[in-house]
Each structure stands twice: as C-alpha cells, then as structure tokens.
Structure 1
Amino acid sequence: MIKQIRIILERVPTLTKSSWWQGRLSGLGLATVFSLLAGCAAVPSGPAAPVVPPPAEAARKPVRIGLALGGGAARGFAHVGVIAVLEEAGLKPQLVVGTSAGSLVAALYASGKTSAQLQQTALNMEEVAITDWMLPIFGRGMFRGDALARYVNDLVANRLMENMAIPLGIVATDLNSGQAVLFQRGDTGTAVRASSAVPAVFVPVKINGREYVDGGLVSPVPVRFARQMGADIVVAVDISSPPEANPAGDTLQILLQTFAIMGKSINQYELKDADVVVRPSLAGLKSADFSARQRAIDSGRAAMLAALPQLKARLEAAGGQVQRLLP
C-alpha cells in the first residue's frame, strides 16, 4: 500500500505560477487521490467476518415422572384412584415400579390400560381368580400363586415386561440373600407372583434357580428403584397402615400386622427420597378386605388430588419439559 501511495503522488503534477488551471486541476487530483486512499484504508484487507446469530434457547430436557406403587394387599386398589387423578390432570408417568399389590397395578398400567380400564378390572376382580389352594395347606404356603400369574398374563395379553408401553419394574425379595431385586425383563405374571408372595400365604417363587417372596419385606414403597430406572420426579404411593391402626385378628391378619411393623421403619427411610408422597386415608381398611375396593379407589383419588399442587410445583421447579396426555 505504501508503494502504491508513492507512485500515485509522483504522478501528481506540481503547481506552478504560469498555470492557475493546472493548479486547480492538480489540487483536485490530490484531493481525489487522498479520498481514494482513505476509501482504500477503510476496506478490510481480509474476508468479511461472519455474522454470529444470538444463541438459540437450549431445548428443555424432558422431565421423567416415575410412579412408585407400594404394597398393602387389598388396600392396593387405592393406586387406581391415584392414576385416575394423574390422567385427569394430563400428567403421564414415564415409568412405573411396584411392590406386592403395587406390582399388579403397575403391570396393568404399564401395559397401556387407562384409569377407567383399571377401575373396571378392579371392581370386577374375583378373589377366586387369583387364589389356588395348596393341599395339604400346611406346607410352604396356602396358595401356589399360579392362578395369580395366569390372571396377570391374561390381562396384559401375555406381554413380557420389556415389551410394555412404558418401562415397568417389579420388586421382590430374594429369600436366600434377603436383598431386594428389581425385575424388568421376562414373564410379567411370574414377576408379579414373586413380588406378591407373602411368606406362609403364597409358596415362594423360583426364578432362575433362586427363590423369591414378597417385595414388601425390604422395599414397601420402591422409591429407590424408580430412581434407578431413571425417574427425575418420583411420586410414591404409600398404602401401608400404621401398626397401631390394625388390631391383630386371625392368623393372616397377624402375619400382615407383622409386615406392617417391619415396614414402618423401612418406609420412613425410603420415602425420604421421594419428591411427592401420596398417603391415601385407609384407616380401618384391612389388608385382606376385598369388599371395600371402591372405598380404596376413592381414597386414592382424594389423596392424589391433595398432593397435585405439590407435584405441579416440583415439576415447575425442575424446569424441564413434561410429557402430557393428549386431550
């Protein structure tokens, strides 16, 4: 550029006294040259810098709602009312995990059944369809549990756990190690049977060479397993009853009362990790009372309606995108 300037200046004619017009022209020439030089200096020497658009707002991460359904025998009908309220609110859990009675409702819900279908199934359920007496009855349990497994598989159209509409988890207790085990693959009815195998009531269930009994012994409300399956927000449904609210009666009631005592301290520990805890009011409703199923459903509805503002607040605080049911 400097060399170019020198050449152009050398070509500009010098102003003399004999030529006023030449001076004027020379002055115009100089002015033109400097104007051109100024223009050249304003032009960038390299390519133009690309225009960077403002960053777009990052897409919100989907929030996964997990439903943890606890055990409680006939009190498990309350889970149906809880699901009905979530459905009416347009909220769809992305996964469900259940223990004992909760495993049965979890399996049916994961298969794609609506709350209306769940309620119809609950009200039409006959105890004889899920009980098969052992003879003699003084063996390892009063019921084999095969009838329960068949009942579940019929309702889910024999779909395996891994083929459900939403991820399904079922919790049982390893009888030998005492550890809680999460089933997510395989025969759905067998998993529900294992999770519901109350010791001395149902015969332990053998799966891959190991025996399993009721999951409520070690995980009455499977909150930790909902987290393990990937839930960001866990809605835990606790249908257990305080031991003091259930005076012991017959042999079965004494056994269930024993589980209630054992589960009380475990529940207090596990429920701390839940975002929302739903506790249906089931006082006086015995675990073996299948005649009060409508009352249990209504109690589940009322409890979930009361907890709905808390759930919505937790979802808002999470700041993510919530999957909703289509109207």
Structure 2
Amino acid sequence: MVSTDDSTLGLALSGGGAYGAAHVGVLQELRERGIRPGIVAGTSSGALVAAAYAADVPLEAIEHAALAFRWSSIARMSLTPRLGLLDSGALTDAIHRVLGDDPLIEQLPRRFAAVATDLRTRQAVVLDAGPLNVALRATIAVPGLLPPVRRGRQVLMDGGMVDNVPLEAARRLGAARVIVVRLHAKWENVRMMRVAASAAELEEDRSVILIQPEMEGLAQWSMADVPRLVEEGRRAARAAMDAVDARPSPPGVA
C-alpha cells in the first residue's frame, strides 16, 4: 500500500518531448487514489509537469496547458544564440502563464528538483534551489533547438542527455519511496540498452514504484496524440498502483 499523504513519498517524472503529457494522466490517477507525494523531481518535459504540480497548480490547469501546448509556441526564431535555433524567451513566457510570477524553488509548496546536464563536465546537475524559471529553461534546453543556460561556470542543457529518470534527484530531496514514471518507446535501439538495463534495476528496487506508459505508435515530437498520451499515462498508473496494492510493503515502509 502507498500512504495517501506522505512527505517522504517522491515522484520522479522522466523526459520525452510530447510524451510528457502522459504524466498528466499519472497525476490524475494518483489524485483519484488520494496519493499526494511531498517530493517531486523531473527531467526535461517531465520537469515542466513536476514544477506545476510542486507549485500546486490545479491539475485541470496542468491538463489544459498540456492539451493547448504547441512546440511552435516556443519556436520563435532567434538570430543570436550560437548553440540554439529557438529563442527560449517564448518558453519562459509559457512557464509564466502556467505558474504565475516566477517563484524560487525553495518557496514551492512541495520539494522540487529539475535535472540538467552540464556540457562542460557531461555530468547531471540537480537544480533544487534558486529561480524556478532558470531550472526549467536548463532542463528542457534540447541541444540544437534551445540555447544553453549559463549558471556560474556551468553550461546547462537538457537533463535527459545523462539522467532521464530523476530517481536520485528525488532521493536527494529526502524521498524514502519513489513513484517513477519512465517514458520510453518499444523501438529503443541498441545504443539505449544501458537505459533499458536501468529499467530492469528499477523493477527490482522495492522502494520504487515503476510506471511505464506504452508509447509505441504515439508521436513524441508533436502534440497530435496528447489526449491519448494522457489516457495512457492514467492506464499505466492504474495498473502499476493496483499491482502495488496487491503486494506487501517493503520492510520499514508504510
């Protein structure tokens, strides 16, 4: 069983472009069951949904934003960035429309972290303090499309390059048990076998509840399939949570 209101229960939302809409369906199913994680971490598009949830944006508003979002809405061409073809200023505008005035991460009602990649070190960077706006622009800065975000000596881009499943970020925030939503496609190639192996490890970890929506046949880089993605997220969450309810809890975990 999963405690319905647990400050040490984490939610880790992976990246995946438009696939991130499936996270909305997961949140719907968790709400239906009265499950309210106190910790939430996200990578790339998963961080956008995670941030809105951490900020207590109503789920209906999150779903509306997912249904209305168009990649073209952030595709304002920029003449200045050398590493990005798109201007992230439009993305910032979209974030403000959903979350209102840009808060600091540490001011959010729930503990939150976004994962980015430092291009200088090729290491994951967990962004769990400071302006939320900066963290989100960094985690979703897809190479070649959006410009990197500079923070001190760091050059930050899409966290999915090195850590697409932000489990460790959630644990760093204090999560004892983590609901992990991993977005992937059946057609992952041999180059992604290391990621697939990590999924097998997640399934063996009794402190992890793994939700894996089925993405095959659904569009990853357009919003055409958003309604189906939301529904698939809910279906996958329902199946995973039903399986958890049918098994004993790990020792020491409620």
Q: Please indicate the TM-score interval, normalised by the length of the shorter structure.
A: 0.7 to 0.9
Task: Report the alpha carbon displacement of residue 282 of structure 1 after superposing the two structures with TM.
Answer: 1.4
TM-score by length of 1: 0.69
Match of 1:10 in 2: none
Task: Report the alpha carbon displacement of residue 261 of structure 1 after superposing the two structures with TM.
Answer: 6.2
Q: What is the CA–CA distance in structure 1 between the aligned matches of 2:7 and 2:112, rounded to whole Å? A: 17
Matched-pair contact (CA < 8 Å) for 1:66–1:233: yes
Task: Report the alpha carbon displacement of residue 121 of structure 1 after superposing the two structures with TM.
Answer: 1.9
Match of 1:39 in 2: none
Match of 1:298 in 2: 231
Task: Say what the alpha-carbon RMSD is for the aligned residues.
Answer: 2.3
Moved more, 273-282 or 189-198: 273-282
Matched-pair contact (CA < 8 Å) for 2:55–2:109: yes
Match of 2:139 in 1: 195
Matched-pair contact (CA < 8 Å) for 2:43–2:165: yes
Deviations 1:198-249 (A, max 9, x none): 11111111122421111001101111111111111111111122445xxxxx
Q: What is the CA–CA distance in structure 2 between the aligned matches of 1:103 and 1:268, rounded to whole Å? A: 23
* Residue 153 (str. 1) matches residue 96 (str. 2): yes
Q: What is the CA–CA distance in structure 2 between the aligned matches of 1:202 and 1:119, rounded to whole Å? A: 24
Larger fraction in strand = 2
Q: What is the CA–CA distance in structure 1 between the aligned matches of 2:221 and 2:41, rounded to whole Å? A: 22
Higher RCO (C-alpha 8 Å, min separation 6):
2
- Moved >3 Å (runs of 4+): 126-129, 260-264, 310-321
User: Residue type matched to 1:266 in 2?
Assistant: V
Moved more, 166-175 or 234-243: 234-243
Please list every run of 5 or more consecutive structure 1 residues that lacks an aligned counterpart in the other structure.
1-61, 245-259, 322-327
Q: What is the CA–CA distance in structure 2 between the aligned matches of 1:152 and 1:116, rounded to whole Å? A: 16
* Residue 142 (str. 1) matches residue 75 (str. 2): no
Larger fraction in helix = 1
Equivalent of 1:94, from 21, 38, 61? Answer: 38
Q: What is the CA–CA distance in structure 1 between the aligned matches of 2:75 and 2:132, rounded to whole Å? A: 17
State the number of aligned residues: 244
Please list every run of 5 or more consecutive structure 2 residues that lacks an aligned counterpart in the other structure.
1-5
Query: What does 1:72-91 align with in structure 2 at a 5 Å threshold?
Result: 72-91=16-35
Query: What does 1:3-82 align with in structure 2 at a 5 Å threshold?
Result: 64-82=8-26
Report percent identity of matched pairs: 33
TM-score by length of 2: 0.87
* Residue 265 (str. 1) matches residue 191 (str. 2): no
3-state SS of paired residue (2:184): coil
Equivalent of 2:217, from 266, 270, 284? Answer: 284
